[in-house]
């Protein structure tokens, strides 16, 4: 099923021709409407005429989150406030948020690309879908809300928090789908069980998850807990919010809405483009945004592109699930460690649950990684030999996968923090403790 078959199955050559035309137009638009880009492009000697092929995009300087923050709140807007109809902002916890504006056409484009990913994920007008993302400046809730309404699904704007109420609504309304972060879907399942419900008490068949990564193992656990089919979708507030990319039901990568977003993969250290199929930092240039255009935005997310057509019929390039962020990659004793690798290891251990926490400390000159995981059966804490066996086995698996030694701490069930939005599982105390 497609939301817009003509666009979603367009031959590659045509997509690329459309992207080139739109890219040139966007360079011109930024040059003429945003003083910051006028300066940047002029300094780099780039004009729309100089862009002859898509790979000429590499001559355009990249834009970073710092550039956006330096122009807080509206300094990079390309339209006067009379044409702006919505404002959102990033959920950033440090520094000033990044503020994003939308014109009416931007909102239309946004709901369109979200509608596409919802249909690709298997949602239909028959579905009743509960949105358990926080409504507000965060783009997740309103983004999915308008996309789902556009396809005719019934939306329950539950927002996040008050998890018992969320569970009651899911059950009483007979929701067929949930929109949330994967970690919150897991937490809701835990609360549902504590309330005495079984998965048969619910009708949820689809999980439209995004806004944070989750390993395949974590996803399988959520699917088993709820008896649903989960897909992943990707976006970020600076780009529109959700809607940049989403999985179809074949789940072989997330289809990027390439008529609106041009994706590249670069080496995050040299900023050089990487050959197709290599993993690196994802750079996105929105091609049609009016209020808040961006050229070559550094997402800091690590992924890989695949431009082969998908067996579902879609021709738009697919991006791999996000491996991590260049800024959440932990460097421990010189070794690159992604929290997602640790998550996969823990979920392969039957005695521990899906909630975990990573603590990194510096002791002397040595980095120490502590992995805290929750036991499923608290009785194990009384049996020293069992406890030691589980610990040893996790330590060994982490050693094999990461190549480093970690301290493994097993705690009682429900000891670690739960999250209603994006999970924060890493505590890097190295700088704080060294002061
Ligand atoms: O999280 C937008 C969104 C909402 C996407 C709902 C999907 C669903 P921000 O708060 O600006 O926007 O955070 C963007 O979240 O750079 C990624 O690091 C991470 N992220 C988003 N989707 C995924 C995903 C929204 N599917 C940042 N997998 C991005 C992994 C994701 N990470």
Q: Annotate 56-104 with DSSP letters as a single string.
A: GGGGSPPB-HHHHHHTTTTTT-SS-GGG--EEEE---SSSSPPEEEE-H
What pLDDT is stored for residue 198 in this prediction? 97
- Indicate whether residue 299 lines ligand 1 (CB < 6 A): yes
Is ligand 1 within 6 A of the CB of residue 101? no
140 CA → ligand 1 middle, Å: 8
User: Ligand 1 atom 30: the closest Cα is on which residue?
Assistant: 213
131 or 323, greater pLDDT: 131
Residue 431: CB atoms within 10 Å: 8
Cα–Cα distances in Å, from 293 out to 25, 168, 222, 272, 287? 11, 41, 36, 22, 8
Average of per-residue pLDDT across 392-414: 94
Does 435 have pLDDT greater than 60?
Answer: no
HSE, CB side, 13 Å, CA atoms: give it for residue 122: 19
Average pLDDT across the chain, whole number: 95
Residue 327 has pLDDT above 90, yes or no: no
Neighbours of 319 (CB within 10 A): 22
Q: How far is it, in rounded angstroms, from Cα 103 to Cα 85?
A: 5
Does 181 sit in the ligand 1 pocket, CB within 6 Å? no
Whether ligand 1 lies within 6 angstroms of the CB of 111 is answered as: no
CA of 212 to the centre of ligand 1 (A): 5
From the CB of 303, is ligand 1 less than 6 Å away? no
Ligand 1 pocket: which of 93, 97, 234 to mutate (most atoms <8 Å of CB)? 234
- Spatial strand order of the sheet with 318-319 comes to 154-156, 128-131, 177-180, 206-210, 229-236, 241-247, 254-256, 318-319, 305-306
324-328 mean pLDDT: 85
User: Does ligand 1 have an atom closer than 6 angstroms to the CB of 183?
Assistant: no
Residues in contact with 189: Cβ distance below 8 Å, sequence separation at least 6, in sequence order: 199, 222, 225, 226
Q: Is 182 in the pocket of ligand 1 (CB under 6 A)?
A: no
User: Is a pLDDT exceeding 70 seen at residue 92?
Assistant: no
> Does residue 251's CB lie within 6 angstroms of at least one atom of ligand 1?
no
Ligand 1 atom at shortest distance from the alpha carbon of 235: 5
Q: Could you tell me which of 134, 137, 124 has the C-alpha nearest to residue 157?
A: 134
pLDDT tens, position by position, 234-258:
999 999 999 999 999 999 999 999 9
User: Is residue 210 in contact with ligand 1, taking CB distance under 6 Å?
Assistant: yes
- Choose the residue to mutate in 139, 212, 236, 245 for probing ligand 1, maximizing ligand atoms within 8 Å of C-beta: 236
Q: Whose CA is nearest to atom 12 of ligand 1?
A: 236
* pLDDT range class, residue 434, cuts 50, 70, 90: very low
pLDDT at 93: 56
- Provide the 3-class DSSP secondary structure of residue 292: coil
Quote the CA–CA distance of 184 and 231 in Å, as a whole number. 15
Strands 318-319, 335-337: pairing is unpaired
Ligand 1 within 6 A of CB of 234 = yes
- Evaluate: CB of 339 within 6 angstroms of ligand 1: no
pLDDT for 9-55, tens place per residue? 999 999 999 999 999 999 999 999 999 999 999 999 999 999 999 99
Q: Is the pLDDT of residue 430 over 90?
A: no
Instruction: Please work out whether the CB of residue 233 comes within 6 Å of at least one atom of ligand 1.
Output: yes
What average pLDDT does the segment 413-434 reach?
A: 87
Checking if the pLDDT of 117 tops 70, the result is: yes
265-292 average pLDDT score: 97
**3-state DSSP assignment of residue 372:** strand
Lowest average pLDDT, out of 64-73, 78-87, 91-100, 126-135, goes to 91-100
Atom of ligand 1 nearest to the CA of 241: 2
Q: For 357-367, how does the pLDDT look when each residue is reduced to its tens digit (9 = 90+)?
A: 999 999 887 89
Q: What is the pLDDT of residue 235?
A: 97
Minimum mean pLDDT range among 94-108, 126-140, 215-229, 311-325: 94-108
Q: How confident is the model at residue 433, as a pLDDT?
A: 55
pLDDT, average across residues 271-295: 97
Ligand 1 contact, 106 CB (< 6 A):
no
Q: pTM, whole model, 2 decimals?
A: 0.92
**412 CA to centre of ligand 1 in angstroms:** 30
Sketch out the chain's domains with CATH numbers: 1-323 (3.40.50.12780), 330-428 (3.30.300.30)
Q: Which atom of ligand 1 is nearest the CA belonging to 232? A: 26
Residue 319 has pLDDT above 60, yes or no: yes
Q: State if residue 254 touches ligand 1 by the CB under 6 angstroms criterion.
A: no
Instruction: Please report, rounded to a whole number, the percentage of residues in the chain having pLDDT higher than 70.
Output: 98
For ligand 1, say whether the CB of 236 is within 6 Å of any of its atoms: yes
Ligand 1 and 231: CB distance under 6 A: no
User: What is the DSSP pairing of strand 280-286 with strand 154-156?
Assistant: unpaired
Closest residue CA from atom 31 of ligand 1: 212
Beta strands in 92-190 (DSSP E): 99-102, 128-131, 154-156, 177-180
Whether 132 lines ligand 1, by a CB cut-off of 6 Å, is: no
The residue contributing the CA closest to ligand 1 atom 28 is: 213
Q: What is the 3-state secondary structure (H, E, C) of 238-291?
A: CCCEEEEEEECCCCCCEEECCCCEEEEEECCCCCCECCCCCCEEEEEEECCCCC
Residue 91: its pLDDT value, please? Answer: 64
């Amino acid at each position: 099923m497609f939301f817009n078959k003509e666009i979603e199955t367009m031959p590659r050559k045509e997509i690329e021709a459309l992207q080139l035309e739109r890219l040139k137009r966007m360079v011109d638009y930024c040059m003429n409407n945003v003083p910051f880009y006028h300066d940047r492009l002029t300094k780099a000697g780039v004009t729309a005429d100089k862009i002859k092929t898509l790979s000429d995009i590499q001559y355009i300087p990249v834009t970073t989150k710092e550039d956006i923050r330096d122009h807080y709140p509206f300094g990079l807007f390309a339209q006067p406030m009379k044409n702006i109809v919505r404002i959102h902002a990033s959920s950033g916890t440090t520094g000033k948020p990044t503020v994003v504006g939308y014109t009416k056409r931007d909102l239309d484009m946004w709901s369109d690309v979200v509608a596409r990913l919802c249909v690709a994920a298997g949602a239909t007008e028959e579905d009743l879908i509960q949105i358990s993302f926080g409504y507000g400046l965060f783009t997740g809730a309103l983004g999915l809300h308008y996309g789902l309404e556009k396809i005719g699904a019934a939306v329950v704007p539950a927002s996040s928090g008050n998890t018992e109420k969320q569970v009651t609504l899911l059950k009483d309304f007979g929701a067929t789908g949930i929109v949330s972060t994967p970690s919150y879907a897991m937490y809701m399942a835990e609360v549902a069980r504590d309330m005495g419900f079984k998965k048969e008490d619910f009708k949820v068949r689809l999980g439209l998850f995004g806004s944070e990564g989750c390993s395949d193992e974590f996803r399988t656990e959520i699917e088993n807990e709820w008896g649903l089919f989960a897909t992943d979708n990707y976006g970020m507030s600076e780009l529109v919010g959700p809607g940049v990319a989403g999985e179809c039901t074949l789940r072989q990568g997330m289809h990027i809405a390439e008529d609106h977003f041009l994706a590249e993969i670069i080496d995050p250290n040299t900023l050089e483009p990487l050959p197709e199929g290599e993993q690196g930092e994802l750079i996105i240039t929105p091609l049609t945004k009016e209020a808040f255009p961006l050229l070559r935005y550094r997402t800091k997310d690590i992924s890989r592109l695949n431009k082969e057509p998908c067996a579902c019929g879609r021709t738009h390039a697919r991006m791999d699930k996000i491996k991590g962020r260049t800024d959440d990659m932990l460097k421990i004793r010189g070794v690159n460690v992604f929290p997602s690798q640790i998550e996969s290891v823990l979920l392969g251990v039957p005695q521990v649950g899906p909630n975990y926490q990573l603590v990194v400390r510096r002791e002397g000159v040595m980095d120490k990684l502590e992995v805290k995981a929750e036991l499923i059966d608290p009785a194990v804490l009384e049996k020293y030999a069992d406890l030691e066996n589980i610990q040893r086995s996790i330590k060994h698996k982490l050693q094999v996968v990461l190549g480093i030694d970690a301290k493994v701490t097993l705690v009682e069930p429900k000891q670690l923090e739960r999250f209603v939005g994006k999970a924060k599982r890493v505590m890097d105390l190295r700088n704080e403790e060294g002061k």
